[in-house]
Amino acid sequence: MRLFLLAFLGLMAAPAAANPVALSNSVFVERVSTDAKGNRKIVLEEPKVVTPGDRLVFVLNYRNASGKPAEKFVVTNPMPAAVQYAEAGDGNAVVSVDGGKSWGALAALRVPDGNGSQRPARAEDVTHIRWALNAPIPAGGTGKLMFRGIVK
């Protein structure tokens, strides 16, 4: 009982200090190089120089450092204004084209076409990308989510 109480207090105190679940974000730029045989090779680099047209890979790593499963884990990444969504590296990602109000697969979404009707949404319309894990992250579990974008 005493141990349980300590654990409980520890859990309550944790959010103020270090969250038991951590989400870290890193960005890479894709460089396409062609070798002597003409084969294309894609290399990920830490960006030193980013210019319009550069292809970025956003990587989100999560870790459940707590002793309990983390349930209903949902990650949301608003697209930076200067980055156009390209694709998600995960079939379970959903996107929003209206600032996060509604969500779905890109192919299923529509946006106003400026003439009073609607047209199918395109990659450049994406404002947010979201993943909702169906299963809890087990205690100590980690994972990785990715999506790609282009510097506008």
Partner 1 sequence: MQPQPSSCAVTRAYRWAILGGAALAAIASQSALAAGTRAGTTISNTATATYDAGGGPQNINSNTVDLLVDELLNVTVASNNPADVPTTPGATGQVLSFTVTNTGNGVESFGLTPIANGGGDDYDPTVTSIVIDNGNGVYEPGIDTVYVAGTNDPALQPDASVTIFVISTTPGTVTDGNRGIVALTAAARTGTGAPGTSFAGQGEGGGDAVVGATGAQGQDDGAFVVAAATVALTKTAAISDPLGGAEPIPGATITYTITATVTGSGSVSGLSITDGIPANTTYVPGSITLGGVAQTDAVDADAGSFGSNQVTVTLGTVSGGNTRVVTFQATIN
DSSP 57: E
Residues 71-100 that bind partner 1 (CB under 8 A): 71-78, 80, 82-84, 86-87, 89-90, 92
Task: Tell which one of 12, 16, 36, 107 touches partner 1 (CB under 8 A).
Answer: 12
- Nearest-approach distance from CB 123 to partner 1, in angstroms: 8
Part in contact with partner 1 (CB under 8 A); list of ranges 63-71, 101-109, 113-121: 63-71
The secondary structure of 79-134 as a DSSP string is PPTTEEEEEESSTT-EEESSSSSS-B-GGG-EEE-SSSSEEE--GGG--EEEEE-S
The dihedral of CA 98, 131, 59, 67: what is its sign? Answer: positive
Answer for which of 1, 16, 32, 36 binds partner 1 (CB under 8 A) is 32
Residue with token string 């994972």: 143
* Contacts with 63 (C-beta within 8 Å, 6 or more apart), sequence order: 21, 22, 24, 141, 142
Which of the ranges 44-52, 102-110, 111-119 carries the binding residues for partner 1, by CB under 8 A? Answer: 44-52
Contact residues toward partner 1 (CB under 8 A) are 11-12, 15, 19-27, 30, 32, 40, 42, 44, 47, 49-53, 55-56, 58, 60-62, 64, 66, 68-78, 80, 82-84, 86-87, 89-90, 92, 124, 133-138, 141-146, 148, 150-152
